Chains A and B, each alone.
Chain A
Amino acid sequence: MSIGHTLLGLLESGPRHGYDLKRAFDERFGHDRPLAYGQVYSTMARLLKNGLVEVDGIEPGGGPERKRYAITDAGITDVDAWLRQPEKPEPYLQTTLYTKVVLALLTGRPAADLLDTQRAEHLRLMRELTRRKKSGDLADQLICDHALFHLEADLRWLELTAARLDQLAKAVTS
């Protein structure tokens, strides 16, 4: 999962302090693993260097934690590209996908498209595996089946999420 893209996405709704960013991230995505401050600052530094964010202002009182960041146009384009890009289908994708969906919802992008794209990608791989399974020996078949079942679970999750997008949008934006 790309923390940089996530933070960028969070910034799309308006400039924030680093501390705010961490809180917003933890609240939405950090259920099992809160973000360390250091990670926020190093990421923001990288983004700043790449011109994807800019410093919007510094609160008086000094110290690095007082910087307020804002997203640049380049940053928005970058988030866009990231969201559009289907993830390589592999097991345990849901954290990334979830993050993407929430960000899309937060930033008013078509989350359904995102899901459909991902879904097509998943199915593409599943077809591939199915083809391989058809021609392979038993070991191949079993290995492919394992992958297929995992992919199926993800795909199911995608379907479920798609069906509940409205609900999720309400929860996220409230």
Chain B
Amino acid sequence: MTAAAEPLLQATALRKSYGRTPALDGADLTVRAGEVVAVMGPSGSGKSTLLHCLAGIVQADSGRVCYRGRDLTAMSDAERSALRRTDFGFVFQFGQLVPELTCLENVAMPARLAGTRRRAAEAQAAEWLARLEVGEIAGKRPGEVSGGQGQRVAVARALVGSPRVVFADEPTGALDSLNGERVMRLLTDAAHDTGAAVVLVTHEPRVAAYSDREIVVRDGKSRDLEQVS
């Protein structure tokens, strides 16, 4: 990746409290196009909150999140929803799939929400499922597949719309190391192919090793390790 690339997503001085609990206390983060950034840090330090703020799912109390020059914090819900639909993808530890829909339908959902016809969306989804080596479970519901398979479906869904940023919050948290690495490999390879940047929250160093850069969050403050040394 070109180090000099202009930032795709940039958060500055983010603060967010839940009641009296500060979750973020002046966190910064820069994501450049196509790079994989690992966010690590102790439990409860604010990693997930940072990720949610970056993706515009949670509104920070103060600070700015700039995505390609536009301030996410100033957007309407509809605009942020549209961004999630077209520019962002998400992979969480579990539970982000709609249990009522089949895996194929889950993957086709973002495209359908963006107005693609069902057939086209599902064809595209099938392709992605195949690419993530879970083509055979397309017709099953998320409740009927293993954690690793489900996670790959989630990755497929995150990537199907060719997003510019994929947000992954402990995507391998519930998987064994082999499966976790497979998911990571598929995720980073596919992201690399589509040119998507990945913000990856993880506790596992081996998962973080798939990143290009590492940010550590402690007590709501971020720290870019590249700049320490």
Contact = CB atoms under 8 A, between A and B. Distances in A.
Nearest to B216: A116
Contacts of A163: 42
Interface stretch (A4-12, A69-77, A124-132): A124-132
A130 B216 contact: no
A117 B228 contact: yes
Contacts of A20: none
Chain A contact residues (Cβ within 8 angstroms of B): what range?
Answer: 20 to 34
A152 B228 CA distance: 20
Contact of B210 (A113, A130, A149): A130
A28 interface: no
B4 interface: no
A117 B228 CA distance: 6
Q: Name the residue among B40, B205, B226, B229 with the largest chain A CB count within 10 angstroms.
A: B205
B225 interface: yes
Nearest to B209: A126
B206 A152 contact: yes
A123 B214 contact: yes
A117 B227 CA distance: 10
B80 interface: no
B229 A156 contact: no
Interface string B192-224: 000000000000111011111010100000010
Nearest to A112: B218
Q: Name the residue among A86, A130, A149, A152 with the largest chain B CB count within 10 angstroms.
A: A130
Contacts of B225: 116, 119-120, 123
A148 B223 contact: no
Nearest to A151: B205
A80 interface: no
B118 interface: no
A116 B223 CA distance: 9
Contacts of A117: 228-229
Contacts of A129: 209
Contacts of B211: 127
B185 interface: yes
Contacts of B204: 152
A86 B214 CA distance: 17
A151 B38 CA distance: 17
A156 B206 CA distance: 10
A45 B145 CA distance: 68
Given A148-B209, A152-B205, A159 B228 contact: no
A148 B185 CA distance: 15
B42 A122 contact: no
A85 to B, nearest CB: 10
A120 B209 contact: no
A159 B40 CA distance: 10
A125 to B, nearest CB: 9
Nearest to A163: B42
A126 B205 contact: yes
Contacts of B229: 86, 117, 120-121
Contacts of B206: 126, 130, 148-149, 152
23 contacts: A113-B228, A116-B216, A116-B228, A117-B229, A119-B216, A120-B214, A120-B225, A123-B38, A123-B208, A123-B209, A126-B205, A126-B208, A127-B210, A127-B211, A129-B209, A130-B206, A130-B209, A130-B210, A134-B185, A148-B206, A151-B205, A156-B205, A159-B42
Given A119-B216, A126-B209, 8 more contacts: A116-B216, A119-B225, A123-B205, A129-B209, A152-B205, A152-B206, A159-B42, A163-B42
